[in-house]
Structure 1
Amino acid sequence: MIIGNSRAELMQSGLNLIGQAISIFDSDLRLAVANSQFQTLLGLPDNLTRPGAYFEDIVRYLVVRGEYGPQDDPDEAVRVRVEQARTFQPHYMERQRSNGQWLAVEGAPLSQGGWVTVYTDISDMRRQEELLRVRSEVLSEQVLDHAERLAAANRKLAATISALQETKRVVTETQARTRQVTEMVAAHIAHMDPDFRYLFSNGQLPQIFPGRRSDIVGLTVEQVLGPANFAVLRRYLENALAGRSQVFEMSDAESGRRIRIALTPDRAGNGVYILSTDVTAEVEVREALTHASRRELAAKITSGLAHDFGNLLTVILGLQDRLSRANLPDDAKSDVQATLAATRRGVQLLDRIGQIAAPPGTTREPVQVGPLLQDLCNMARPSLGPDMLLELQCDLSDTPLMVDPGQLQDSILNLILNARDALDGQPGEIKVKARAAAPWLEIIVTDTGPGFTPEALTRATEPFFTTKQGQGSGLGLAMVFDQTKLAGGTLHLSNRGETPGARARLRLPYYPVRPQMILLVEDDDELREVLRTMLTGMGHSVVEAATLHEARQLADLPEISVILSDIQLGDGLGSELSTSSGPPTVLMTALPPGDPLRESVGGVVLTKPFDAGSLSETFNRVLND
């Protein structure tokens, strides 16, 4: 069944194949349907051949152009023809146009109202008739026969040309629509030949593989995506070239983004069609849901057993502590100490399970990450084996970054200790590398141990999963994963590849603290004091104003970099401080999103309460726009 636009397209294509001009007007004297010959034959502009065009406008255009010969009163000529149309009667007429062309015009009313008119170019026919009348006595029967055959061939050729023109129009429109659709799809669509060379691309490759070029037709997959990615893709591409469809996921070696790729063999044997989509967010949500379910399980375990377990541990600690002070043999004292150590470890484990079940919030503050990592490495070195080397390579400036120092230290320390356990007391090297990889603070911890097993790469961040044969809690990497996600970052585990060893890449949002002069506008004295302390703690200088009037007198100071103002001030709106020539303005409010006043001010709005990290991120965004 053909419905909607498909039926209209079908009808239009059919009408365009007819060699005569056709027009249909409705009862309101407006054009309902016309084929392409209607415009071509009468020489009408586009606006007069579209559905809805008025009959009066078309007639006026033809009268003014001289289509009906000289007119003493053009308006009267138009009026007469419109009135005739309103009382339309069936008719057939032949008339000669101003350019000498002869037209046969046949019209008939429609039962629904309106009428249909067919225009036929009979110029050749009239010339032939005239020629036959003038020279019929000298034309032989053979000449007439040739003339008839020629006329038939001409009519057939004209019909073929019309059909080809309509086919060309449909194909051109279809190609344009197809290209537009493929360019709008949030995926990379491509066609590759058997030599791994791109034959077609919708230009969306940089959206899926960041940093790549969009003009890739004629290049090979290896040239475009790099040797590392091609090494992963090759076996899938070869399977697809052999006729087997492939659907798989891979991580981009450069950006770390997770890509899902579908390969479909070309039925004509000319290569493979490729559909690539970025599923990084989907994978992160999937992992987050998995970890959320683990945390939910841990929460249930904790809520159901923590109270009783805690009481038991308290009793055990009390009894063992009493025994440790008693006069016991040395071997018994060592047993008591071992029991105490095991009990204290149980207390720590219970506390860590609670952290997994309900992770704390992130409190960012200005931190010089380089010295923090140096202190952490100095603290961690004594816990390593005598033949283990811990090296720090820090490629960061002295600019403070907004991070949670406690969480960052916990995460890196967990990764260092995990690397230490992987070395299992054997000589080896642990490296901590830190650098700015916009928009990330990237910290990579590598070791020279045996690396992750395939199972560990899949499950290492799951709570309670461990490969330490009962010696580990299985919560270290899970805590790193949770804390990193909570801070808006990512944790990626892999093996080094070129040499034995494991690699953990931790990425956190890169929020540098660049000291600015801030104009703080807040009419609540206590809140203004809190905000001033927050800003100065971030390293900024602060100029204060309690009213809109005071702020206007200070806003044009050349040292002011950003205006931080409440929306509702006692004597006006903070949004009135925003000007195209002045410093950028960040507005604050406790009004919820969607409130009419909040929506009316526009610009950047921070919802109260907010922390220093959110404020620093907002400053960076408005200053870099």
Structure 2
Amino acid sequence: MNRDIEIRLEIASEKLREYAHALDYVPAFVRAPDGTILIWTSAIAAVFGWSEAEAVGRKFYELLRTVFPAPLETIEAELFAVGEWKGEMVHRHRDGRRITVESQWAVHRDPQGKPVSILQFVRDVTEAKRAQSMIEEREARLRSVLDTAPDAIITIDGQGIVQSFSHAAERLFGYAAGEVIGRNINLLMPSPHAEAHDGYLERYLRTGEKRIIGIGRTVQARRRDGGIFPIELAVGEVVLPEGRVFTGFIRDISARQSMEEELRQAHKMEAVGQLTGGVAHDFNNLLTVISGNLELLERRLVDDDDRDILREAQEAADLGAQLASRLLAFGRRQPLNPKPIDLNAMVVSMVDLLRRTLGETVRISTRLGEAVPVIMVDPGQVENALLNLSINARDAMPDGGTVTIETGLVTASDETGEIVPGTYVKLTVSDTGVGMPPEVRQRAFEPFFTTKGPGAGSGLGLSMVYGFAKQSGGHVDLHSQPGKGTAIGIYLPVREEDLVAADVPGDAAGATAERGRAVLVVEDDPRVRRVAVRRLHALGYRVLEADSGPAALTVLGGDQPVDILFSDVVMAGGMSGFALATRALEARPDLQVVLTSGYTDPAMIREGQMPAGARWLAKPYTLQDLEEVLRPVVC
């Protein structure tokens, strides 16, 4: 019997040695209920750096400077009640490093149920936690980018299902992220691309042919409210083990396209303005010859029928001059005569005229702003602009309606360069008429463009308004929708230095030309020069001639007396009338100067290139115009 016990003891001892050997490879230790370490395996020694001899007999939480997730008493209460506990805690390595572990505790009891020892298994998760923390940090950074990026960012999977939807995307498309994530991206596309998108994606996955991925392009997108707008879309791709992910970077380019369209329109209008200005210049030279010769011929006719025929020709020439004036106004080449005006008073004074002009079916309403300052503009051009806009408004209301005239002080700011930021008085004429479709709005300010029937309009009304506003340093805006009427606003600049009293014209009624005074006529067009010479002879002046600036300087450098220089501005030979006048005054300071042109850039006059005291006469002009412009010079 004793031999059997010995054998069983040997077997049990062997098993115990096997268990102990196996346990030695497990990162675990056995402690007493009070925390004293009883068994310290080689594996656990490798984890924390403390040897068995250094660890056994010490309290584990003191040795390892343990940071528990909860008070130890709370953890052990759960352990003794349940028999086990799992959790995460932080220990210190012998070298001081922090080690995060996942720990599993199991209690061993004696036959009476009293806790005898506690086995604690440890798994070092420091690197895993560090990796997780890095992942979380990267995710947080990515989320921060997604949440703060001004451009919308959307990710989809290989089936086109939305995986993420940034805050900017929410603002851009009008959807909350939860409404889009999990749905097909074609939700954000207009027809026919919405229906074709899955086919685009399938073809790319099948063929690898890139049409937008990594390339980017401008496409159309659809908001939640159904609105279609242009976007700039760039798409990136990443291949993961679980499949492909596509990231779309989306930028709303509605404002940019609108700005580009406005810039193209401005360039087009500038080009057309230069063309029409040049045509008007040549046209005015021809009209000067025609009207001048008709005027001189009129003095020789005695037959009434001949005079009637001549007057019809003169009326036609006058109409041609008006047309040229309108072309110059559009091209911003029409010399202006700015004066201080009270815009509110001008509107009030024109209401009765407008009522008679527009007819009984049109109601006129005025909304005049308070404290509208005096502005320096050409009053005749403002009146013409108001009349043109009112007539256009009437024509847009065939069944009658309301024309509203508004004034007000506004501050304008525009990054497109269409208007200089600053303070303006705005004159707005709006109607309740048929409105304009987009294709008409785009061409509204072009000269000769009209939607009226033959003979009903020249197509120059709005172009004149546009040119006058631009030449005055202002701007014109147009808002119109079919069925909702039209509103056209003219911005006229407010300048402190312009707020001066109007000049009181002197009384020159008694002034007459001093017969025998010498006038040097400088004109490169021989026909125009001949007309000017004939008119001056008719007025009693002695006349000298030159066909260019250099030729005029030669005359002035001689001994012949010259009292008045009457010169064209734009001439062949490389010397303008401005340059000629400047050099002539250097040689003869007492010389009087009159400049004339059918076309010139008024900016030159504003910038001081026109000599002080010089007079201006626009072509075509009448004999009376010539007499009046010379009269103040010789007084």
State the TM-score, normalizing by the size of structure 1: 0.43
Comparing both chains, which one has the higher relative contact order based on Cα–Cα distances under 8 Å and sequence gaps of 6 or more?
2
The higher radius of gyration belongs to 2
State the TM-score, normalizing by the size of structure 2: 0.42
